[in-house]
Amino acid sequence: MTDIRRTILWVVFTMSLVLLWDGWQRHNGQPSLFHPAPAKTASAPTGPASGAASGATLAAQPATAASGVPVTTAAPVIQNKLVTITTDVVKATIDTRGGSLVRVELLKHADDTNPSGHVVVLDPLRQYSARSGLLNVPNAPSDQTVLSLVDGPMDLKDGQDALTVRLEGEQGGVKLAKTYTFKRGDYAIGVRHEVTNQGAAAVTPQLYLQLVRDGHVDHTGPSFAPSSFSGPALYTDKAKYHKLSFDDLKKGKAEYDKNADDGWVAMVQHYFVSAWLRNEAGPREFNVRPLNENLYTAGMVMNFATIAPGATGKLDDVLYVGPQEEKKLEDLAPGLELVKDYGIFKILSKPLFWLLDLLHQALGNWGWAIIVLVVLLKAAFYGLNASAYRSMAKMKAVNPRIQELRERYKDKPQQMQQEMMRIYKEEKINPLGSCLPIFLQMPFFMGLYWVLLSSVEMRGAPWVLWIHDLSKPDTLFGHLPYFNVPIGPLPLLMTLSSLLQVWLNPQPADPVQAKMMWIMPLAFSVMFFFFPSGLVLYWLVNNILSIAQQWMINKRLGVTKS
């Protein structure tokens, strides 16, 4: 049994060193063992974010419908303009060329790289936009047709609950009117497409909805830890939620259902998402593919009913551009909350977030909610932990006898193992019992890591004193020079608590194993300096409660530190 424990500990320790080295390599721009360097891609154009020049830049890009059929072969020469709409939560920019939404700034979310600025989701600098247009009618208005803006207010006034922006254009014998409805406190934008048949024959147009963006993916979290998903995604009731990586799309390996009677498409990134939504049942065709080396589209095509001459048809959709607030996404469309990436620990992360959210509603602070969560988990596993700590206390009590056996039978390893197992059996000790609490806690630890990594609700959430953001590392003392390791009190306290736990544990008879028991907490602590403060807080409180429980059991059994 001792050999098994030693093997497990060495494997854990070795993998920790490998992960640390790999993280250091990636931090310094060197090739990674587990994350190959991304393929070189064409960079997005760096034009101004507003003004006619930006509109001209966008217009120069070839428009492609979601069905894969090019809408136009050349950009119209009619000059477009950009229109800015401001509500209490977003600052949105609409390009009259196609009536596309080309920029959305979230006014309630600060930018990580520029605290005085805001997060920008749709962004012309990344060619990231929401487009739409008509198919199945020759020369019909597309996302390259310049529409006329109908005069109206561009700012949501105090006391006003909604703001509508209407754009109109005629081409190919049909008139297209696109109306955006922005609501107070809401990131879901209503989008209505009205088609009026101005010709002499009936038409059956199709509507395509697209999300277009570059393939750049930002790594989130520590460099040695998994990152949340970024890329296109779609959902249907039959196939459920399906993520499509940029790499698979580029290689032609992406597989998905191309036709359904329900569903939506989205572009997912860390904390935020854009999505075209339609909850009304009806046939639709999905198309997700690369447009060029570093530009991708996720779209769907839907049918209008046949429109007689002089008649008008309309389709209503929702364009969501905002944070991945789980409960709000659940109310918008079936499965939309799945864009929040919990990784492989979803089965634990989702209920953990549910419980954390309840605690937050009661306490009003995510930090205190995490502490109470630890207390609840410790209470749930109290009996199992107590059994493990009793086993460790008994091992500490028989440690002198084990040391004597090692000296007596140092040349007879097989007989030494037999005698050790006899003592363990007599004293009812499970040598692996001390490892069980750690193995049981690790899934919850990883589940909470994904909760903190993916929950925009905790982005920028303070706890007390110097902890202003539980989703970021503690950096009160700055960074180590040359190594750029964030240093703060929380991970330092966590390291000390881990070393205190080792001191309370029974001393292994094997000198090498004894040294490794002291080295492992130090090695793991290096990773904790990079982890979100909320996760370090969770582990620190867990350590403190474990130390208290172990100390009480040692005292009850009369085991003292030797």
DSSP 471-491: TS---TT-B-TTT--B--HHH
d(C-alpha 35, C-alpha 21), whole Å: 13
d(C-alpha 289, C-alpha 101), whole Å: 20
Residue 211 within a domain:
yes
d(C-alpha 120, C-alpha 380), whole Å: 42
| pLDDT for the residue numbered 435 | 63
d(C-alpha 433, C-alpha 443), whole Å: 18
Same domain, 287 and 360: no
The DSSP code sequence of 272-323 is EEEEEE--S---EEEEEEEEETTEEEEEEEEEPPPB-TT-EEEEEEEEEEEE
Residue 464 within a domain:
yes
Beta strands in 129-187 (DSSP E): 129-135, 148-149, 162-171, 174-183
Same domain, 323 and 414: no
| pLDDT for the residue numbered 417 | 76
Nearest to 278, CA basis, from 232, 320, 322: 320
Q: What's the angle, vertex CA 538, arms to CA 533 and CA 540, rounded to 5?
A: 90
Could you give phi then psi for residue 536, rounded to 5 degrees?
-65, -40
- Residue 176's SS3 state is strand
d(C-alpha 159, C-alpha 292), whole Å: 45
- Residue 101's SS3 state is strand
Q: Are 91 and 105 in contact (CB under 8 A)?
A: yes
Instruction: Name the domain boundary from 341, 364, 381.
Output: 341
Enter the tokens of residue 324: 């991945």
Q: How many CB atoms lie within 10 A of CB 196?
A: 18
Same domain, 174 and 277: yes
Same domain, 419 and 303: no
Same domain, 404 and 330: no
Enter the tokens of residue 35: 């994350």
Q: Are 153 and 83 in contact (CB under 8 A)?
A: no
Domain containing residue 103: CATH number = 2.70.98.90
Same domain, 93 and 208: yes
DSSP H helices, 32-149, are 52-59
Same domain, 298 and 442: no
Nearest to 92, CA basis, from 120, 54, 134, 61: 120
Same domain, 306 and 370: no
d(C-alpha 348, C-alpha 223), whole Å: 23
Same domain, 186 and 107: yes
The DSSP code sequence of 429-467 is --TTGGGHHHHHHHHHHHHHHHHHHH-GGGTT---STT-
Q: For residue 271, is it left (φ>0), alpha (ψ between -120 and 50) or beta?
A: left
Instruction: Name the domain boundary from 277, 306, 341.
Output: 341
Q: What's the angle, vertex CA 498, arms to CA 496 and CA 504, rounded to 5?
A: 105
| pLDDT for the residue numbered 113 | 78
Q: Are 238 and 257 in contact (CB under 8 A)?
A: yes
Give the pTM: 0.77
Same domain, 169 and 239: yes
Q: How many CB atoms lie within 10 A of CB 379?
A: 10
Burial of 462 (0-12, 13-18, 19+ CB in 10 A): middle
Same domain, 457 and 429: yes
Nearest to 189, CA basis, from 163, 211, 210: 163
Which run of H or of E encompasses 265? strand 264-268
| Strands 312-323 and 272-277, sheet pairing | antiparallel
Same domain, 447 and 474: yes
Instruction: Name the domain boundary from 307, 341, 375.
Output: 341
Residue 511 within a domain:
yes
Residue 396 within a domain:
yes
d(C-alpha 223, C-alpha 527), whole Å: 10
Residue 8 within a domain:
no
Q: Are 405 and 420 in contact (CB under 8 A)?
A: yes
Residue 36 within a domain:
no
- The one-digit pLDDT tens for each residue of the chain (562 residues) are 444 444 444 454 555 555 544 554 444 444 444 444 433 333 333 333 333 223 333 333 334 444 444 444 444 457 889 999 999 999 999 999 999 999 999 999 988 777 778 999 999 999 999 999 999 999 999 999 999 999 777 898 888 999 999 999 999 899 999 999 999 999 999 999 999 999 999 999 999 999 999 988 876 655 555 678 899 999 999 999 999 999 999 888 888 999 999 999 999 998 999 999 998 999 999 999 999 888 999 999 999 999 999 999 999 999 999 999 999 999 999 999 999 988 888 888 999 999 999 999 999 999 999 999 988 888 877 766 666 666 666 666 677 777 777 777 767 777 777 777 777 777 666 665 556 666 777 787 788 878 888 889 888 888 888 888 888 888 777 776 766 677 778 888 888 888 887 776 656 555 666 677 677 777 777 778 888 888 888 888 888 888 887 777 767 666 555 4
d(C-alpha 269, C-alpha 340), whole Å: 9
Enter the tokens of residue 111: 């930018």
Residue 14 within a domain:
no
d(C-alpha 471, C-alpha 271), whole Å: 11
d(C-alpha 33, C-alpha 378), whole Å: 36
Residue 159 CB partners (closer than 8 Å, separation 6+)? none
**Tokens 């097989």, located at residue:** 414
Q: Are 506 and 552 in contact (CB under 8 A)?
A: no
For the chain, how many structural domains are there in total?
A: 2
Residue 37 within a domain:
no
d(C-alpha 49, C-alpha 96), whole Å: 15
- Could you tell me the residue range of the domain that residue 272 belongs to? 52-341
**Tokens 């009850």, located at residue:** 556
